[in-house]
Amino acid sequence: MRGLIRLIIILLAIVQSLFFWKIKKREPKKILIAHDLLLGDTLLLAPLMKRIHEKYPEAQKFMLSKPLFVPLFNNEPYGFKALSFNPKSFLDIWRIFCCGPYDLTYIAGDNRYSWLARALGARWIIGIEGDTPPWKNWMVNEVKSFDLKPSTWADMMGRLVDGKDPETFEKKEWLRPDTKKILLPIDISKPYIVCHLGASNVLRFWPHTSWQKLCKDLSNQGFEMILTTGPNEVHLIDQIDPAGIYQSVPGSFSLIEMWALLENAALLVSSDTGIVHLAKIACTPTITLYGPGSNLIHGPGKFWMNQFFEAATIDSYPCRDQKFLFRRKIMWLNRCSRNIKQCKTPGACMEAISPKDVIDKATELLKLTHI
């Protein structure tokens, strides 16, 4: 089915390119953000969404989203309606088609989705230059470049829209949808700290002994400790808390429930994963553990500069030496996107992050937030 869908998209994109004019309207009536990103990168499109809304307040605005993330957009932040997008689902693509045609489309990340945008009848497509292989760029009408100086990916995506940068984020701009289900019997009269143990890449796991030291120290300071993971990561809770001392939430809960948990938390401590970026939307004070990742590219940047945030990392770690983001080379960037088979020293960059350093940062953040 996916092969058939791809063939249909390619043929429709070619027909649209050959027989229909490509025109950039001054006042587009319908705008689409096309992508197939994971949770964190999807949420990091907030600056792009806000900037589009500031420049085109009257336009209808749509954004593709993995089905699991659609509920996060129920309140239509910045006027955007999320459209469920599973590349294997013809029904999803038909529904996206029925919401068009789109006068203006922004491509986030992989330029292959410019072909989908053109097939859907997009009049003008804007993306980041230099994707590989070259055929991915053939349907893009206007290209932008990544910044020549250090900047977060979120801020750079906001600059896909001509003009000024968007104003910094305020919590009221992206409100959490209501949830009737109770996540945990938490006594909110006692402050609690969320420790998110999982990540999409096992190379981002912090050693269980480090988590144990952190949890013990912060628990002794009077905080309730809540351990969370994603799906299929319950074993991490068993490693860190075999005696069941702390409350825990395995990854069987919804993202809306996790959002509600983060909103009332005194602090989140997590590896560099999607939950960190959900915490940006929830305005939760956060410490992010960067091993392979980079605070330069995925930190708060300008858009979330008013939030309480600390990065726990080892600067200039030797094997954090890759300069590519979405297959584009960025000279000022140093990160690592290797998998477990490619890494010569699995876990070393995370092991180098000292529990004492994280505890000190946590203590300081908690003082600043008057907890």
**Per the domain annotation, does 174 fall within a domain?**
no
What is the distance between the alpha carbons of residues 104 and 106, in angstroms, rounded to a whole number?
7
Q: Are the beta carbons of 216 and 277 closer than 8 angstroms?
A: no
In a domain, 180, yes or no: no
- Residue 353 resides in a domain: yes
Domain, as residue range, for 140: 2-163
Tokens 């289900």 sit on residue: 181
pLDDT digits (tens, 9 = 90+) for 23-59: 788 899 999 999 999 999 999 999 999 999 999 999 9
Q: How sure is the predictor about 183, in pLDDT bands with cuts at 50, 70 and 90?
A: low
Measure Cα distances from 287 to 36, 176, 279, 308 in Å. 27, 22, 10, 9
Shared domain for 260 and 326, answered yes or no, is: yes
Would you say residue 182 lies in a domain? no
Say how far apart CA 347 and CA 292 lie, in whole Å. 9
pTM listed for this prediction: 0.95
Residues 222 and 279 in one domain: yes
Q: Is residue 211 part of a domain?
A: yes
Q: What is the mean pLDDT of the chain?
A: 93
Question: Same domain, yes or no, for 347 and 226?
Answer: yes
The total number of residues shown for the chain amounts to: 371
Q: Are residues 282 and 159 in the same domain?
A: no
Instruction: Compute the distance between CA of residue 54 and CA of residue 78 in angstroms, rounded to an integer.
Output: 9
Q: What is the CATH number of the domain that holds 356?
A: 3.40.50.2000
pLDDT, tens digit (0-9, with 9 covering 90-100), for 66-96: 999 999 999 999 999 999 999 999 999 999 9
Same-domain status, 215 and 339: yes
On whether both 205 and 101 belong to a single domain, the answer is no
- Are 116 and 224 part of one and the same domain? no
Average pLDDT over residues 245-254: 85
**Is 345 in the same domain as 213?**
yes
Statement to judge: residues 217 and 135 lie in one domain: no
The answer to the question of residue 266 being in a domain is yes
Alpha-carbon Rg for the chain, nearest whole angstrom, is 21
Give the mean pLDDT of 167-191.
79
205/139 same-domain check? no
Pair of tokens at residue 61? 């605005």
The answer to whether position 85 is within a domain reads yes
Residue type, 191: P
Could you tell me the pLDDT band of residue 13, with boundaries at 50, 70 and 90? Answer: confident
DSSP string, 193-214: EEEE---SSGGGPPPHHHHHHH
- Determine whether 228 is exposed, middle or buried from the number of CB atoms within 10 Å of its CB (0-12, 13-18, 19+): buried
How far apart are alpha carbons 296 and 298 in whole angstroms? 6
Total domain count for the chain? 2
Write down the pLDDT at residue 3.
79
Q: How many CB atoms lie within 10 A of CB 107?
A: 28
The answer to whether 219 touches 195, Cβ cutoff 8 Å, is no
- Tell me: do 227 and 133 sit in the same domain: no
Helices 255-263 and 274-282 cross at an angle (nearest 10°) of 50
121-165 pLDDT, tens digit per residue, is: 899 999 999 999 999 999 999 999 999 999 999 999 999 999 999
Give the closest residue to 269 by CA, choosing from 291, 294, 287: 287
Q: Does residue 177 belong to any structural domain of this protein?
A: no
User: What is the pLDDT, as a whole number, of residue 181?
Assistant: 60
Verify that 12 and 153 share a domain, yes or no. yes
Q: For residues 289 and 272, give the distance between their C-alpha atoms in angstroms, rounded to a whole number.
A: 6
